[in-house]
Amino acid sequence: MSVHTPPGTYVGPAIDVEGLNKHFGNKHVVKNVSLRVERGEILGFLGPNGSGKTTCIRMLCGLLTPDSGRGTCLGLDIVKGSALIKRQAGYMTQKFTYWDDLTIRENLDFVARMYEMPNRAAVVDRALQDLGLAHRANQLAGTLSGGWKQRLALAACLLHEPQLLLLDEPTAGVDPSARRDFWEELHRLAARGISVLVSTHYMDEAERCHKLAYIAYGELLAQGTASEIVESLGLTTYAVMGGDSVDLGERLRGAPGVVQTVAFGTALHVSGLDAAALGATLAQLVAERPALRFERIDTKLEHAFIYLMSRTVDHEAAPALARAAG
């Protein structure tokens, strides 16, 4: 029986899950995570290494069973329908998993054969054309650069016409030009109604997503559009110019109103949750050092994620410090 499923067969969001939990032994790696991805939406999944992103993706595509939680992927129950989800979603792993000693065409033909797709040759030809691989069709995969391997992996994910792509750090180690081309392709796919969940460490990629979710140590800390996430944190940010950013960062660390200092080029960006206290601290600094000047700037997504990262580091460090003190 063919596993090929025509597109557009599900109703509702591509991903709609609530309260997902997963343990490995005594380690609670995913903690009550809820995600929703609409049709044709690109959701950026961000977080530090070991935060639970890959485990979440594997639960969504049917490779892991959650310990608890519920929801659907492509309209299918993530537990009862896991076998069908694996057949109907496209999953791209962090590591290149295709065969170095086969050509691009042979790799794609093998994948099409595993999906028991009719008209394999025509399907492979179309994939080669759509992803710009036709002129390299007979090149061995092992000789490809990172960007071309990435393109082959995406072509393989798309062979069975999935309506959901789950991409686990697909651009890691790929040059900026190839990353840009890859994201242009993702937006073309989204415009066709294909939903995408993509994990990334790159801030420029995060800003190209329709919505974002930030996870750390298994907990989902923020979710929404870039502007919604920035606004929800309530940070006020100033740029301080005219001095040594390292020295200024040391001087301001822990000062009233200051929760974060980050060097950006020749300026130091200083953020806080209490706008009045932050403004007063910077005014006092400039009074002491007249060569300095400061101005209020918009809080950017990068400021927000650096702040979220610092909070999670503090959160994890506290129990360890308490154990050490005990």
8-state DSSP, 99? -
pLDDT on residue 316: 52
Largest CA distance in the chain: 78
Instruction: List pLDDT tens digits, range 3-45.
Output: 444 444 577 899 999 999 999 999 999 999 999 999 999 999 9
pLDDT of res. 181: 86
Report how far residue 274's alpha carbon sits from residue 276's, in angstroms, rounded to the nearest whole number. Answer: 6
The helix/strand/coil state of 183 is helix
Q: What is the layout of strands, in order, in the sheet containing 76-77?
A: 27-37, 15-24, 68-73, 76-77
SS3 content of the chain, % helix, strand, coil (to 5): 40, 25, 35
Please state, in angstroms and rounded to a whole number, the distance separating the CA atoms of residues 125 and 39. 27
Q: Which CATH class is domain 234-325?
A: alpha beta
pLDDT of residue 87: 87
Q: How far apart are CA 246 and CA 250, in angstroms?
A: 6
pLDDT (tens digit per residue) in 233-246: 999 999 999 999 99
Structure token pair of residue 309 = 């990262």
How many angstroms separate the CA atoms of 168 and 200, rounded? 7
Residues 85-99: tens digit of each pLDDT = 988 999 998 888 899
For domain 15-229, give the fold.
Answer: Rossmann fold (3.40.50)
Start-to-end CA span in the chain (Å) = 62
Sketch the domain layout of the chain as residue ranges: 15-229, 234-325
Could you tell me how far CA 296 lies from the centroid of its own chain?
29
Residue ranges of the chain whose pLDDT lies below 50: 1-8, 314, 317-326
